[in-house]
């Protein structure tokens, strides 16, 4: 079995097309993370800073503000800003906001409605005479989201209770620090979704290549052709996909850690968006995001193997994979069918960005049990991966006939 495993891995890594795809994929990880860092900019003391210098300067300013976001600090912080912009015709002054933009954006987003876009003019409209009620506003906003009237169906009382209980368990006041570093890391992890194309190119010929070379029937007539050989192909394919995505994730995260450090790993994810109902740190959220992407890649590997065994043509496998992956972007959400929307949200393209998953407040009632959007992603993709892998092996066995 060990020799079969080695031989199958050698076939995947030995193909020239696969080598080029792997090299380009790793290059994309490096370039993508460099771009994420370099696009950060800051006008600091009259000097335009870019990249690591901008991140470092902003982090220094924001870390000096406070250790936690208690009501007293938030009220005084916002009151001071409102006094500084009295008489400003634009309703806000970005020169005062920029170096502390993460905190200003957090406050502004907490006070706009759940379906509105960030607007810094909101900061000037928040009453500060009796405190700004930051955490009361957070729960009020979540309740508004849950009680809204949706054309495709409203939340049940059980669903409302589920989300309110989960959101209410988040510890307050939030500890504070600059969230920029781990936001960049999270974006870098999200970009791993593009490695889907590399996985598809490398996995498509696993079974289909045997058909093209007309070695499938011969392979299946050998002593272990219907057992160990097929098992080796499946195990090697999954091991390859897992190790490759893990390597890409480690390279991306490692680059950011080396260049920016790990400061902020223990900050709550609510510093990204107060709507998030999970009690996680930013580092934990990044690990979960990487886990979701790896699971989806495992499913896509199993799906590619099944298509490879059925179609007998690697190009067909690639075409169908791309159609399934990108084609769902053109499928619209329904204004009348909540069921269709729940199904559509489970397609890969909608699951890669953990921030979108966490603030969607989407769930799946199963009898008396309510499964969160994130939980359903793990259940669905874990189950589908197992089914597709089983079908791939069974379908390839039929080639002998």
The tens-digit pLDDT sequence of the chain (401 residues) is 577 667 678 878 888 999 999 999 999 999 999 999 999 888 877 788 899 999 999 999 999 999 999 999 999 999 999 998 887 777 778 888 888 989 999 999 999 988 888 888 899 889 998 889 999 999 999 999 999 999 988 999 999 999 999 999 999 999 999 999 999 999 999 999 889 899 999 988 877 655 555 554 444 455 444 556 677 788 889 999 999 999 999 999 999 999 998 988 999 999 999 999 999 999 999 999 999 999 999 999 999 988 888 887 888 888 888 887 777 878 888 888 889 999 999 998 888 889 889 888 999 998 889 999 999 999 999 999 999 988 887 776 665 54
- CA–CA dist 163, 172 (Å, integer): 17
Report the pLDDT value the prediction gives residue 5, as an integer from 0 to 100: 64
Report the pLDDT value the prediction gives residue 316, as an integer from 0 to 100: 84
User: Does an H or E element contain 43, and which?
Assistant: strand 41-44
Q: Among residues 78, 112, 116, which one has the least CA distance to residue 96? A: 78
- CA–CA dist 314, 182 (Å, integer): 38
Upstream peptide bond of 192 is cis (omega within 30 degrees of 0)? no
Report the pLDDT value the prediction gives residue 240, as an integer from 0 to 100: 93
- Answer whether 192's CB lies under 8 Å from 293's CB: yes
pTM (predicted TM-score): 0.89
- CA–CA dist 226, 221 (Å, integer): 8
Report the pLDDT value the prediction gives residue 396, as an integer from 0 to 100: 62
- CA–CA dist 194, 224 (Å, integer): 36
Q: Among residues 346, 22, 347, 324, which one has the least CA distance to residue 203? A: 22
Report the pLDDT value the prediction gives residue 1, as an integer from 0 to 100: 59
- Answer whether 278's CB lies under 8 Å from 166's CB: yes
Report the pLDDT value the prediction gives residue 232, as an integer from 0 to 100: 78
Report the pLDDT value the prediction gives residue 317, as an integer from 0 to 100: 85
């Amino acid at each position: 079995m060990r020799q079969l495993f080695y031989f199958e891995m050698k076939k995947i890594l030995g193909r020239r097309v696969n080598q080029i795809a792997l090299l380009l994929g790793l290059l994309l990880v490096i370039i993508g993370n460099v771009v994420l860092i370099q696009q950060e900019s800051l006008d600091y003391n009259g000097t335009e800073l870019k990249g690591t210098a901008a991140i470092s300067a902003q982090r220094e300013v924001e870390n000096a503000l406070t250790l936690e976001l208690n009501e007293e600090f938030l009220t005084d912080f916002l009151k001071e800003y409102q006094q500084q912009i009295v008489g400003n015709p634009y309703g806000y002054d970005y020169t005062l906001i920029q170096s502390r933009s993460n905190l200003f954006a957090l406050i502004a987003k907490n006070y706009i409605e759940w379906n509105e876009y960030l607007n810094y003019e909101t900061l000037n409209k928040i009453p500060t005479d009796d405190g700004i009620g930051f955490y009361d506003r957070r729960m009020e906003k979540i309740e508004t989201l849950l009680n809204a009237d949706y054309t495709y169906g409203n939340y049940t009382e059980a669903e409302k209770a589920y989300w309110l209980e989960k959101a209410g368990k988040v510890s307050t006041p939030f500890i504070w620090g600059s969230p920029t570093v781990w936001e960049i890391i999270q974006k870098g992890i999200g970009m791993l979704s593009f490695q889907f194309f590399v996985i598809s190119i490398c996995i498509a010929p696993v079974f289909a290549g045997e058909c093209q070379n007309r070695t499938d029937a011969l392979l299946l007539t050998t002593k272990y052709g219907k057992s160990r050989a097929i098992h080796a192909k499946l195990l090697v394919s999954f091991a390859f996909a897992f190790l490759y995505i893990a390597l890409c994730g480690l390279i991306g995260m490692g680059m950011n850690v080396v260049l920016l450090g790990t400061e902020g790993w223990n900050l709550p994810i609510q510093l990204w968006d107060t709507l998030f109902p999970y009690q996680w740190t930013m580092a934990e959220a990044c690990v979960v995001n990487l886990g979701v992407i790896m699971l989806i890649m495992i499913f896509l590997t199993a799906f590619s193997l099944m298509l490879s065994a059925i179609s007998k043509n690697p190009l067909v496998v690639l075409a169908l994979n791309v159609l399934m992956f990108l084609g769902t972007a053109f499928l619209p959400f329904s204004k009348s069918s909540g069921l269709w929307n729940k199904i559509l949200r489970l397609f890969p393209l909608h699951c890669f960005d953990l921030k979108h998953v966490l603030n969607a407040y989407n769930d799946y009632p199963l009898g008396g049990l309510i499964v969160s959007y994130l939980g359903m992603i793990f259940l669905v993709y874990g189950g589908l991966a197992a089914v597709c892998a089983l079908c791939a092996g069974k379908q390839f066995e039929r080639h002998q006939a």
